[in-house]
Amino acid sequence: MGRITLDKVTKRFGEVEVIPPLDLTIEDGEFVVFVGPSGCGKSTLLRLIAGLEDVSGGEIRIDGRDATEVPPAKRGLAMVFQSYALYPHMSVRKNIAFPLRMANMDKAEQDRRIESAAKVLNLTDYLERRPGQLSGGQRQRVAIGRAIVREPAAFLFDEPLSNLDAALRVGMRLEISELHERLKTTMIYVTHDQVEAMTMADKIVVLRAGNIEQVGSPLDLYRSPRNLFVAGFIGSPT
Ligand code: ADP
Ligand code: MG
């Protein structure tokens, strides 16, 4: 569960090709970070995997299945956005339960999953509050909780921490890494922040204008950057 392969995947918006043919394999359980400057196609790539955008060419396979045959809600992937996308009029409990209610899940099973996610995320005492009564970090945890309860094959994070202040960002980074240690679920994490990439990733994918410049572990990229762009971006000595 959670192996994702991209085979010559392309994406055009009108005449503009933002993702030229791209091949990539993400192994089950890996923490993969897509990193690169703003506008390089990180979000587009994530949205293609999630099925929020259609590929213009090529193939995405999730656990061997051709993803184009599977609607987004059935892909077993849970996306966490920078904007949190919480419902302000609903309690934390209802926000977290939302995808489960949509799936008509048995109420007892819903409650079991909510309690368990709340415990992991330190939200047990906040379940009856509304998002407006929470701090930024807590809101981000609710958004992550809503992903956890779906027990997805993979988590997709799109710059989840960019709305948080620097100190909180460090803490949430650790929490997400811990969550990965605990769940061992595939995570794809998009950021333009080199420090996040270097500290969180098993595997870093460096993107530039929709092209993969290099794929490797943080240490590989630091020691053997393939070109000046990667070296500059990762901060390798040159
Ligand atoms: P990143 O997340 O790395 O900042 P994006 O994936 O959002 O980059 O964008 C990559 C490129 O695709 C940018 O040039 C952006 O303007 C363009 N783009 C993204 N979404 C659309 C869209 N819906 N229509 C047209 N162009 C888009
Ligand atoms: Mg983006």
- Give the residue with greater pLDDT, 81 vs 53: 53
Question: Please, are residues 162 and 82 in contact by the beta-carbon 8 Å criterion?
Answer: yes
Residue nearest atom 19 of ligand 1, based on CA coordinates = 44
Which residue has the least CA distance to atom 25 on ligand 1? 13
173 vs 163: CA distance, rounded Å: 13
Render pLDDT for 198-231 as a digit per residue (tens, 0 to 9).
999 999 999 999 999 999 999 999 999 999 999 9
Instruction: Tell me if 191 CB under 6 Å of ligand 1.
Output: no
Q: What does each C-alpha distance from 69 to 19, 42, 51, 78, 152 come to in angstroms?
A: 21, 23, 10, 18, 18
What are the Cα distances from residue 155, in Å, to 119, 121, 138, 227? 19, 15, 18, 30
Rounded Cα distance, 162 and 82, in Å: 7
The interface pTM score, or ipTM, of the predicted complex is: 0.98
Ligand whose nearest atom lies closest to the CA of 210: 1
Tokens of 163: 């709305």
Residue with the nearest Cα to atom 1 of ligand 1? 39
Q: Is 41 in the pocket of ligand 1 (CB under 6 A)?
A: yes
Index of the ligand 1 atom closest to the CA of residue 190: 2
Residue nearest atom 27 in ligand 1 by C-alpha distance: 13
What confidence tens digit (pLDDT) does each residue in 107-151 have? 999 999 999 999 999 999 999 999 999 998 899 999 999 999 999
70 lines ligand 1 (CB under 6 A): no
Distance separating alpha carbons of residues 78 and 174, to the nearest angstrom: 20
Counting from 1 in the atom list of ligand 1, the atom nearest the Cα of 45 is 6
pLDDT band at 69 (very low <50, low <70, confident <90, very high): confident
